[in-house]
Structure 1
Amino acid sequence: MSFRIRAFALGAALALLPALTTHAAPKAPPHSARTLTLSQALSRAVAANPGLAAADREIAAAGGRRLQAGVFPNPELSFELDSAFGSKARRGLKAAETTLQISQLFELGGKRDARLAVAAAEIDAARWDRAATRLQVLAETTEAFAKALGAQSRVAELEDQVADLDRLTPLLQKRVEAGASSGAEIARGRVATETARVELAKARAAFQAARRELSVLIGDRTPSFAAVGGDLKRIGAPPSFDGLMARARRTPQLTRFTAVRAQRRALLAQAQAKAVPDITVGAGWRHYREDRSNAAMASLSVPLPLFDRNDGGVIEAGETLAKTEAERAAAERALTVMVGAAYEGLRGAYDEARLTRANVIPIAREAYAEVRSGYAEGRYSLLELLEARAALSDASLKEIDALVSFHASLASLEGLTGTALVLSRRDQ
């Protein structure tokens, strides 16, 4: 289990770390001590997550229950004073009989072994629960990192748009001075630039929100990093759905039912063992004060199981064991739905990002270059120029949204399957 979890963390990190590819990555702040990478985020999230800390405590508590389950009942020491403080010949302590006895309860029916089996199964179940929690933490952190990286990329794209529109101002001024355009075009250009600045401000606020969300997951009250570092454009074709489901069936979400079944089977054995009465054996020494004589004594007590044979407890434990398969089937059905939704989201985002990158953006870039050069020559209007620039920016932002959706779905799938997904890289 630990190997699968480490493999998932490594795979997710490689998916977003800078890649040795030929295409240009989105502009981002240079790596520094204040630039957070995915591998750093995952390590810090695992170390800081309170759910994992609670799971560790639960495992330790289960270990304590196992230790306690193995102990034998304590012996019982008793003292009795008889025939004392009576009347006539038994006045005071003249005829007193004193008895000192030690007794020991002996459990029958395999009660101790049943307790040990229950406790051992509880440890296994707690460990599987921790493994499932760890996968969830890794998936949530990776998804939050992808969102932060996408928000950062949106900021970079809108900064490019604003800078590009700012560079149009001198060109607009020249056309007005040459009489090729009216002064109103400068106002239109400023409106477009200021509108882009508003979108940039919104994108920066969204990045700060994503940054704070990621900070909480890695254990920071306030963000300790200024930027996130990774390659959002690294994508690949998803594997087959059947292969993903085969992996998902081996994750802690389902394999934990093996420990649950063992635990409930042990609880049934424990309930059945309660029907077997225990015996208490005692041995002691009695002193007769009247004639100063002594005598040994022994005792044996066994409860008679006439009314309580723990029939209700046996029925309860048996039904609880029987419902394990139904619970597992329900969990597998829910897992299938989640894997299917994440898979379709991954495939849809992959197609959208790939087609936008291969078809839409190159055409929009070529159209904008043509309109920009033609505007300087008077062949296109300012409205056409602004529309071409907006179309290029919209295409780039759509690609970013698709890439964020891709990596979020990928993180979800890796969390559900417990392994790093090997994606085809031919489409990068």
Structure 2
Amino acid sequence: MFSTYATRFACAAVLFVAFMPAGKAHSQTLTMGNALQRALAASPRLTAAERDIGIARGQRIQSGALINPEISYEIDGALGSGAYRGTRSADSTLQISQMFELWGKRDARIAAGQAGLDAAGIERQAIRLEVLSETAIAFLTVLGLQRRIEILNEQVEAIDQISPLLQRRVEAGASSVAETGRADVASALVKADRERTKAALASARRELAILMGDAAPKFSVVSGRLDPGGRPPSFQSVVNAIDANPQLVRWKAIFAQRNAQLLLARLKPYPDVTISAGMRRFHDTGDNAVRLSVSVPIPIFDQNQGNILSAQESLAKTAAERQANRNTLIVVAGRAYDTLQGSLRELSILRETGIPKARDAAAAISEGYGQGRYSLLEVLDAQASVAQARLREQEAQQNFHVAVATIEGLVGNPFALARGSAR
């Protein structure tokens, strides 16, 4: 089930950010889908996670290895004095020994290794979701800043359009020369905001490029739309979906691994049996005989109590660690969900009242300014109100989609905005 998370997330991102038709394909125009694919292919965190799986696979293989036999050669009655000088009078024994693990120790070791491999695989899925979420948020940040610069450009153009009329009014004596300077100041302030936004955009573009494996951006612009649609489900449904997050699912594998380690610690004091068989040659008679032996350790002094206690505590804290992890995810999801809800309410107010009223007022004041009924300060203030309302709209749209990307990265599947039925 975890292998489908990334595909679902990519589909959700496409659904939430409905990309504008591009006409002719442009190699330097980046879409959300392309950004996600490139980030998955280039992520060093995913590469490291793959190596962790390889490490765990090696440990799983090693856990099932049988204990190697031992071979020994023994001489008895050598390097003495008289008839036992040198080795000519020595008896010799060639022996092979094999220790047999009992009480299910090997099975417990295999279970711990398999659980470790399962945990590594699930951890990779969690990292994959994080990479997708981070890339989607970086993409949306670039898209939002692009839109913000467009709005500021339009505001500068609107101020500049006043200049010819202002100049005529100055020449006619209807306005003072000081008003020309006031218009220049207003234009300069907007241009300063635009330069600050351009710097933020340059940083955001670089961050997105690095996530895709490039040292510098190789795209000119990102393409997409920020209009939200539908309404979100209840927060409780988000909380319920969080339990499917790989970060929480992996605790099942961790619990199994620690449980197997505890069993292994408890079984260690139980003695294993070593059986030896060999051939002994007696020098005096030239006869040969088979030698058999069985050895069993006596667990008197070391019964592995320290390791058993350590394994018990490690197992006991698993539930608390999972709950702490879950609480953190719920807090993050809650913040994103509240941001999402607030953004939708903010957009509703701006679109129903704020932006239309600001535009109507700006149009009326601009027309009245040409007739001498309003001052330049009132015109600039009206234009600034329109620009601020549109900037607030852009910010709310961006916050909405960033919140959606955050929640999708936590629940591990598309965050269904209700459109009559869940997706």
Report the TM-score, using the length of structure 2 for normalisation.
0.95
2:102 corresponds to: 108
Asked if 1 retains the 8 angstrom alpha-carbon contact of 2:20 and 2:223, the reply is: no
Does 2:306 correspond to 1:318? no
Q: Is the CA contact (8 Å cut-off) linking 1:29 and 1:227 kept in structure 2?
A: no
Kindly indicate whether residue 8 of structure 2 is the aligned counterpart of residue 7 of structure 1: yes
Give the Cα separation in 2 of the matches to 1:344 and 1:94.
Answer: 91
2:152 corresponds to which of 152, 155, 158: 158
Alpha-carbon contact 1:31-1:229 (below 8 Å) kept: no
Q: How many Å separate the matches in 2 of 1:329 and 1:95?
A: 73
Secondary structure, aligned partner of 2:301: coil
Give 1:173's aligned amino acid.
Q
Q: Name the CA distance, whole Å, in 1 between partners of 2:112 and 2:4.
A: 27
Structure-2 separation of matches of 1:85 and 1:133:
66
Post-superposition offset of 1:318: 2.1
Q: Which residue of 2 aligns with 1:49?
A: 43
- Which residue is 1:25 aligned to? none
Change in Cα spacing, 1:47 to 1:400, as seen in structure 2 (3 Å) is: same
Question: Which residue number corresponds to residue 120 of structure 2?
Answer: 126
- Is 226-235 or 386-395 further displaced after alignment? 226-235
Contact 2:93/2:278 (8 A) holds in 1 = yes
Deviation at 1:400, TM superposition (A): 1.1
Q: Deviations over 1:40-75 (max 9, x none)?
A: 111111222211111111111111111111111111
SS of the equivalent of 1:6 reads helix
Query: Quick check: 1:96 aligned with 2:90?
Result: yes
User: For the aligned residues, what is the CA RMSD?
Assistant: 1.9
Aligned match of 2:327: 333
Residue 227 in structure 1 maps to residue 221 in structure 2:
yes
AA matched with 2:358: A
CA distance in 2, matches of 1:305, 1:355: 77
Shift of 1:126: 0.8
Aligned mates of 1:31, 1:201 — CA distance in 2: 29
Percent of matched pairs sharing the same residue: 46
- The alignment partner of 2:161 has SS state of helix
SS of alignment partner, residue 289 of structure 1: coil
How far off its partner does 1:89 sit? 1.7
1:218 to 212, 222, 226: 212
AA in 1 matched with 2:248: L
Q: Which residue of 2 aligns with 1:421?
A: 415
CA positional deviation for 1:137: 1.3
Cα distance in 1, alignment partners of residues 164 and 11 from structure 2: 50
1:314-393 → structure 2 map (5 Å cutoff): 314-393=308-387
Moved more, 214-223 or 5-14: 5-14
2:286 corresponds, among 273, 288, 292, to 292
- One-letter amino acid of the counterpart of residue 77, structure 1: I
Name the CA distance, whole Å, in 2 between partners of 1:252 and 1:317: 24
- Secondary structure at the aligned position of 1:299 is classed as strand
Closer, same or farther: CA 270–56 of 1 in aligned 2, 3 Å: same
Please give the TM-score of this superposition, normalised by the length of structure 1: 0.94
Q: Following TM superposition, by how much is the alpha carbon of 1:121 offset from its aligned partner in structure 2, in angstroms?
A: 0.3
Shift of 1:236: 3.5
> Which amino acid is the alignment partner of residue 127 of structure 2?
T
Is 1:269 the counterpart of 2:263? The answer is: yes
User: How far is the alpha carbon of 1:138 from its aligned partner?
Assistant: 1.3
Query: What's the offset of the Cα at 1:334?
Result: 2.2
Q: Which runs of 5+ in 1 are unaligned?
A: 21-27
What letter matches 2:361 in structure 1? Answer: A
Correspondence for 1:24: none
Matching residue's letter, 2:288: N
**2-structure distance, mates of 1:172, 1:374:** 13
- Cα deviation per residue 1:350-381 (whole Å; 9 max; x = unaligned)? 21122212211111111111111121121211
Which moves more between the two structures, 95-104 or 318-327?
318-327
Q: Deviations over 1:267-294 (max 9, x none)?
A: 1111122121111111111122333222
Q: Secondary structure at the match of 1:81?
A: strand
Runs of 4 or more off by more than 6 Å in structure 1? 28-31
Change in 2 beyond 3 A, CA 1:19/1:223: closer
Q: Does 1:395 align with 2:389?
A: yes
Report the counterpart of residue 17 of structure 2 in structure 1. 16
Q: State the match for 1:304 in structure 2.
A: 298
C-alpha distance in 1, partners of 2:415/2:176? 58
The secondary structure found in structure 2 opposite 1:300 is strand
- Mapping of residues 57-206 of structure 1, within 5 Å: 57-206=51-200
- Segments of structure 2 that go 5 or more residues without pairing to the other structure are none
Tell me, yes or no, if the aligned pair for 2:19 and 2:31 is still in contact at 8 Å: no
Q: May I ask how many residue pairs the two structures share in their alignment?
A: 419
Instruction: Pick which of 313-322 and 214-223 moved more.
Output: 313-322
Distance (whole Å) between structure 2 residues aligned to residue 375 and residue 424 of structure 1:
47
Q: Secondary structure at the match of 2:127?
A: helix
Alignment partner, residue 23 of structure 1: none
Deviates more, 1:396-405 or 1:290-299: 290-299
Q: Within 2, Cα distance between the matches of 1:210 and 1:106?
A: 61
SS at match of 1:284: strand
